[in-house]
Chains A and B, each alone.
Chain A
Amino acid sequence: MRDSGLKHLPWIVLAILALSALSFVAGSRGEPINALWIVVAAAGSFLVAYRYYALFIGRKVMQLDPARATPAVYRADGLDYVATDKRVLFGHHFAAIAGAGPLVGPVLAAQMGYLPGTLWIIAGVMLGGAVQDFMILFISMRRDGRSLGELVRMEIGRTAGTIALIGAFLIMVIILAVLALIVVRALAESPWGTFTVAATVPLAILMGIYTRWIRPGRIGEVSLLGFVGLILAIVFGQSVAASPFWGPLLTFTPVQLCWILIAYGAIASMLPVWLLLAPRDYLSTFLKIGAIVALAIGIVIMAPPLQMPPLTKFISGGGPVWSGALFPFLFITIACGAVSGFHALISSGTTPKLIANESDAPLIGYGAMLMEAFVAIMALVGASILDPGLYFAMNSPAAVVGTDPQSAAAAVTAMGFPVSADTLVQAARDVGEHTIVSRTGGAPTLAVAMAEIFSHVIGGAAMKAFWYHFAILFEALFILTAVDAGTRAGRFMLQDLIGLGIPAFRDTTSLVPGLVATLLCVGAWGFFLYQGVTDPLGGVNTLWPVFGISNQMLAAIALMLATAVLFRMKRERYAWVTAIPTAWLLICTITAGSLKIFSADPAVSFLAHARRFSAAAAEGQVLAPAKSMKEMERIIFNDWVDLGLCALFLLIVLSLLFFTIRSCLAARRSDTPLVREAPRQEVAPA
């Protein structure tokens, strides 16, 4: 008895520490607090949640069975199914789930102050996001490592499976558009950034040739060479940008960049994978992990104070970065990092085929997601250590703050965040850019913050411009890899879906269906990208909430699947574990989706916006920001497309709710469990 009490003691101390840090963060007013308080609060909470909640879910809810063979054991083939060391698999899984999402969402959420985002990330991941990833990993692991679509089909029904697949495809389209938009916003009018990012294409091709013919399979070697090339590109980029010939040639408007990216996406996704996609993935993956580790170390060494207030007046709506009030929009703005539906596709992808023992599942499923939440916390800290005046000047659309430092300083000061034009000019000069006014999308803001932190540790002010472009490159690199890989994934999803009607489309080896599906996929995300780029409010304002709604909707679908599975296992007394986060996500997405359609505020609702513009157009008026009747028509058309998309998302989530409830009721009526797990096999009879 005494032993079991003692072993909890360190955890109780840790919990008290985390709680006091959290209450200090929540209670502070006035004096800026140190960022480390947030780091301690998050890390402490995560460790305690892992030790108790993840273990509770594993032992009681799932009843993980270490003696039960996993697919990696009973299907072992040395290729796709390989029993893997849990620490190695943790790294693999984390690298697969953490992308640009957890870095961008929290930066945008900082417009409400650091407190709401911090609390939502911490609570959201412990009770929602990590539970989702863990449950889906468990469900897939017990079913030969099947994918989400197949799992929904098996446990909820055929129609529900198809609906979930349609939802997953739409999310893919929106993700690609919004990621590409972030790159456009980061590289527009920035010859230095454009040069370094463009240089990665020939660099990756050289690496591809190296791994194909010169030294096949030497990934470490070629990545090191590639990394040297990247650093040279950043250093050299400064002179290229300053050159009177190359500088203007590499200075693109957002619309030009948009077309370049669309062409790039179409071509890159049809090239052989070894030529461009694989080598660039090496660079982006290793750089991503390296930058995340460096950021964590940098924050701890610098221990910066938070300049952003804990709460801003924008919690009740009217913020320039994105529209809408704290509820429900904060909870969809920070999707990745708190709860990300997309992870359900990863947790039912390669990971369940590699897991060596059921008892490894909590570390991989729950633990890796906690790690991603920690990345999100660092991004939030990054945005909050900047001068709020600078933050709002960078993240407000040009329609609000204009395009020059004077207008931006005046507009942001009027918002209640005093900043001088000189500060904005100096901040741009520090990072080697012409301007930092209205550089929306989150990536430039995070890059400024990373430059601030890294230059504090290495190089001082002189290195700021280098670190800024390093950070931009790091973000753009893995976004471009995602655009390429995502277009391929989207193509196969589409071929699968069209194949339901036209079976010939299923053939992934023949040329025409592949080409058609690729072009359809690029066309779909290209449409939303173009719409975002030409949107006078900067696009992020419109697209990011749609992305958030779609991602949280997928999370709701995954958690509904998990709830149905618990009912079908006859463990409905534990169904609250998944039902509570499901309910919260349904409340958030349905409210947000309905507001996007029915709200009376044209800044929030597509319908109200379309009506206002239609009414003006009928009277022959041209409303700003449109400059012609043609632009008016385009704005109205875009509104209707976005509206249709939100309606479709709502329809998808509501129909799946219906199927889930039906499945749960059927399970309750049955006396025996209905789940369709793969038959239990003992771990090797040695």
Chain B
Amino acid sequence: MKGILSRLRQTALLMVGQSSYEAYLAHLRTHHPEREPMSRIDFFRDREKARYGTGGGRCC
């Protein structure tokens, strides 16, 4: 049940361009441990810009 809810939450967030912050942190920890990761809020803004800056991919 908890799995389903968290997946639904993730789906809803990805629909508006927000990929998982946890996945981002995990990626940085394993692949670039020397880099300082963005804060949760900076990550949110970065993803917001990535999605909407060029119009945001969506259909008619």
Residues on A facing B (Cβ under 8 Å): 76-80, 82, 84-85, 87-89, 91-92, 95-101, 175, 179, 216-217, 219-220, 273-274, 277-278, 281-282, 285-286, 289, 336, 340, 342-343, 345-346, 349-350, 354, 481-482, 485-492, 551
Contacts and interface: CB of A to CB of B under 8 A. Distances in A.
Which of B19, B20, B27 has most A Cβ within 10 Å? B19
A91 B48 contact: no
Contacts of A346: 57-59
A553 to B, nearest CB: 14
B7 A85 contact: yes
Classify the secondary structure of B's interface with A.
helix
Nearest to B20: A82
Contact of B46 (A79, A85, A482): A79
Contacts of B40: 217
Nearest to B49: A273
A364 B26 CA distance: 25
Contacts of A489: 54-56
B27 A336 contact: no
B23 A82 contact: yes
A99 B58 CA distance: 8
B24 A87 contact: no
Given A82-B27, A489-B54, 7 more contacts: A77-B27, A79-B47, A87-B7, A88-B11, A98-B59, A101-B59, A345-B57
Interface of B: 7, 9-20, 23-28, 31, 40-41, 44-60
A273 B53 contact: yes
Given A76-B31, A79-B19, A79-B24, A96 B57 contact: yes
Contact of A485 (B45, B48, B52): B52
Contacts of B16: 219, 278, 281-282, 285
B11 A87 contact: yes
A95 B15 contact: yes
A589 to B, nearest CB: 17
Which of A273, A274, A340, A551 has most B Cβ within 10 Å? A273
A91 B52 contact: no
Classify the secondary structure of A's interface with B.
helix
Contacts of A92: 11, 14-15
A97 to B, nearest CB: 5
Contacts of A274: 45, 48, 52
B14 to A, nearest CB: 4
Contacts of A289: 15
A277 B52 contact: yes
Contacts of B45: 216, 274
A558 to B, nearest CB: 13
Nearest to B44: A217
A492 B24 contact: no
A50 to B, nearest CB: 20
Contacts of B27: 76-78, 82
19 contacts: A76-B27, A78-B24, A78-B25, A79-B24, A82-B23, A84-B19, A85-B7, A85-B10, A88-B10, A91-B14, A98-B59, A277-B56, A278-B16, A278-B52, A286-B15, A289-B15, A482-B60, A488-B52, A490-B55
A78 B28 contact: yes
B55 A78 contact: no
A282 B17 CA distance: 10
Nearest to A98: B59
Contact of A488 (B11, B18, B20, B55): B55
Nearest to B40: A217
Given A82-B19, A278-B16, A289-B15, A350 B60 contact: no
A359 B18 CA distance: 24
Contacts of A88: 7, 10-11, 14
Given A281-B52, A488-B54, A219 B59 contact: no
A89 B14 contact: yes
Which of B13, B25, B55 has most A Cβ within 10 Å? B55
Nearest to B11: A91
B53 to A, nearest CB: 6
Nearest to A286: B12
A491 B56 CA distance: 12
A486 B40 CA distance: 28
Which of A89, A96, A175 has most B Cβ within 10 Å? A96
Nearest to B8: A91
B48 A278 contact: yes
Contacts of A99: 58-60
A305 B2 CA distance: 40
A488 B50 CA distance: 13
Contacts of A492: 54-55
